[in-house]
Structure 1
């Protein structure tokens, strides 16, 4: 790669100004709207059961193609794409009654059969969580290659120091959604029954080793191939895999604090606020932004310091996971509104989203703290923005499931519940979610391969869309293949 092309790509990847939060929300709204249309087609027309090649093609168009279009050809008119998704969903929903299947009404034939049935899982699989996490991985995989093409708007690329962009929210969302599902292991134990801190640390270190290996492999490959990178993202040697690798041990260290402050949300806010105090009342911000890179720590100061912000995001994800993962109690006829709000997952998610949004507004508003968002620092506004964004999107996905598939967890038979859950989940998003980090690794490898073989900055619209479509199809195809083989690669 010529030096001029390399410098152009560095400017291309770093971004300078970012985009407005309203525009980012408009583009990202494509994901839940795609899930909405998929859910309506499934609940009203049973389009994806059985999963034929035609159904797979429509699934790909809705949950991968729509995201690709929103970040490229529809990037300047995202509301038009949102309308093209919302209108068909509304029409199909209003003009068709829900399709009733045999297992919708199945019940144990006798008390003896009911007593022999397998007990229901207290932490059942939630399709709306799978759909949300899968869609976040999809948009992340699409963006890491699309950013290298001219068709991808520069305002969507990662900003340099201050501001918001679509790719900035993607990195934090990956950490947040990891936190949502990671809390499952802690919910299985009561406060006094959790494994000792030493066992938790040992288990977390075992989980971190593969991520550390991936981080080293990426470091060697990037340096060895002279691949374009921007050191202000994480530093000279640090990368996102190292951030993910160090999260589990530090989260384990926070578990004893949970016994004192029994709220992951409060713990995350305390950590985020303490880190912001360090940024504002010491020379830490100046050090991160402008200090010379003399030693190993100063060379990687962005990744090391921003880790505390990502740890707060991870804990915030655990707070949402503690809401959505447990089984929701079926309301009785005499349930009061107060009890309904207390036990309703959707109600609690909505309240949590509003609180996160209010905190974010306060942190950035002229009438509040007036702080700018910085993904590079992973400061307090960035932590609150990521938490508000993801909690709101999960709440939307939960609302979609409540309307389209209201009876998923209202069966006393575990097999029926599992079948309903499977039918309410996009196969592509399920496959991507099952092997999220492996799929992300494949996407990174393909991104490097494309950039080493194709002059992406010189591609026209049709050439860019052809390459990006083939890339997205390949990534989703790998996910489907792993899913069909029932392989779950633990990284």
Structure 2
């Protein structure tokens, strides 16, 4: 890579201060607004059945390109885009009644939420249900993450959305934490499944060995990325994670450390408390020692710790975020029905729980990051440190997103949660879930890897900083279409590539 251009690229993503949380919320609200429109079309018109070419293009426009446009062309007017998405949904609701019975409209198709075929057919009240709202939440997060990692290299993507240098909030900072949080949500399935099985009696050592099998591919990808970046002289932002560290290392080390802290669940059964405990202890270390200054301003010494201090110490914050996600998953995944609890009551309880968690995390965030009428700590958010305000912000935002998606599913597709037992569940869930989002969710981590490879290929092939708006959008739309095509192809072939 040309040295002068490499310097321009590094300067392009350096010393940024981010934007305000209100604007970030407006941009990310496009995902629920898109699902609002998709759900209105599907529940009232069965628009996506059968899944014709028109349905595919509409699905792509609503659930992929809308997010791309929110972060680029509509970045200065995200509320306008939200209105453009919500308005036709309102008109459909006012003019059409509910579609024909949903459970008979589509053939059987597995969802990532349903982690195995055995679970689908096991039946019984103890089996874990498939939740379209969790599939939708995770997939929407994956789409915006994949879009942002390439879009950030073009000028059409506002600098206030890119990762901040030290202090502040941005869309991409939120995306990193949300990626970890969503992983925590899904990890709750294994915990819930194992509570009443023989595997729950496994020793800590056995669980650590099992977790390392999940970690190994991610650590290998981290090494591949490290050597690729260094070998190709690729432009990199060292203060993001350090000289050698990258996000794959963080994700790869989470499973074994989570198992260690999972052992504490015997004494502290609430993962929210574990998450807060880690975040508080880490924040105390940052405030009461020289750790904060060491991470932010200390010269990079010859040792590996000094060279990679951002990635190593921020891992504590990401661990807290993962555990917060697991807490949300444990409270939202179970069916919740019993002889004395109807499906409607169980869903109401889930919505109430998600609402309470959203308010609780938000309140803690406000108290931690502002003066809050003289009672707050006023600690600024730092993704580089992954400090306590950052952990609380990510947890509050993601709980709010899960709540919104759950609310939309409850309103538009009541048959999903009202039915007792597993019979016909897959068909109902398939009807209530975008095929594109199902595909992104099913092979999410693999799609993320492909997105990273395509991002590298684009940056090595062209000078993204010199592209005008039309050129940049053409490349980004093509990139989004390729990722969507790969995801749909894998889903149609019923291939699930776990990393």
* TM class by smaller structure: over 0.9
* Matched-pair contact (CA < 8 Å) for 2:103–2:425: no
Of 310, 335, 338, which residue of structure 2 is paired with 1:302? Answer: 310
SS in 2 for 1:326: coil
Aligned residue pair count = 478
Kindly indicate whether residue 264 of structure 2 is the aligned counterpart of residue 257 of structure 1: yes
* Matched-pair contact (CA < 8 Å) for 1:41–1:47: yes
- Match of 2:491? 483
5 Å-filtered alignment, 1:309-388, equals 309-329=317-337, 340=345, 344-366=349-371, 367=374, 368-388=376-396
Distance 2:339 2:404 in 1: 21
Judging changes above 3 Å, is the alpha-carbon distance between structure 1 residues 334 and 134 closer, same or farther for their aligned structure 2 residues? closer
SS in 2 for 1:65: helix
Judging changes above 3 Å, is the alpha-carbon distance between structure 1 residues 331 and 11 closer, same or farther for their aligned structure 2 residues? farther
Judging changes above 3 Å, is the alpha-carbon distance between structure 1 residues 102 and 204 closer, same or farther for their aligned structure 2 residues? closer
Distance 1:393 1:194 in 2: 34
Q: TM-score normalized by structure 1?
A: 0.94
Distance 1:165 1:248 in 2: 27
* Matched-pair contact (CA < 8 Å) for 2:382–2:389: yes
SS in 1 for 2:79: helix
SS in 1 for 2:208: helix
Shift of 1:35: 1.1
Distance 2:486 2:342 in 1: 49
Distance 2:87 2:103 in 1: 30
SS in 2 for 1:19: coil
* Matched-pair contact (CA < 8 Å) for 1:342–1:348: no
Shift of 1:199: 1.3
- Match of 1:441? 449
Deviations 1:251-290 (A, max 9, x none): 0001221111110001100000000000000000000011
Alignment RMSD (CA, Å): 2.0
Judging changes above 3 Å, is the alpha-carbon distance between structure 1 residues 103 and 311 closer, same or farther for their aligned structure 2 residues? closer
Kindly indicate whether residue 166 of structure 2 is the aligned counterpart of residue 158 of structure 1: no
Deviations 1:395-450 (A, max 9, x none): 00000001000111322452411100111111111111111110000000000111
Distance 1:102 1:297 in 2: 56
Kindly indicate whether residue 42 of structure 2 is the aligned counterpart of residue 22 of structure 1: no
Kindly indicate whether residue 6 of structure 2 is the aligned counterpart of residue 12 of structure 1: no
Of 244, 251, 256, which residue of structure 2 is paired with 1:244? Answer: 251
Shift of 1:4: 2.6
Of 214, 235, 238, which residue of structure 2 is paired with 1:231? Answer: 238
Shift of 1:102: 7.0
Of 404, 421, 435, which residue of structure 2 is paired with 1:427? Answer: 435
Distance 1:333 1:448 in 2: 52
Shift of 1:342: 9.8
5 Å-filtered alignment, 1:40-439, equals 40-101=40-101, 103=103, 118-119=123-124, 122-190=127-195, 193-294=200-301, 295-329=303-337, 340=345, 344-366=349-371, 367=374, 368-412=376-420, 414-439=422-447
- Match of 1:111? none
SS in 2 for 1:408: helix
Distance 1:36 1:342 in 2: 19
Judging changes above 3 Å, is the alpha-carbon distance between structure 1 residues 397 and 239 closer, same or farther for their aligned structure 2 residues? same
Deviations 1:331-376 (A, max 9, x none): 97999xxx95996111110010000000000001113111000000
Shift of 1:196: 1.6
Gaps of 5+ in 2: 106-120
- Match of 1:108? none
Distance 1:31 1:118 in 2: 33
Distance 2:72 2:179 in 1: 21
Shift of 1:120: 5.1
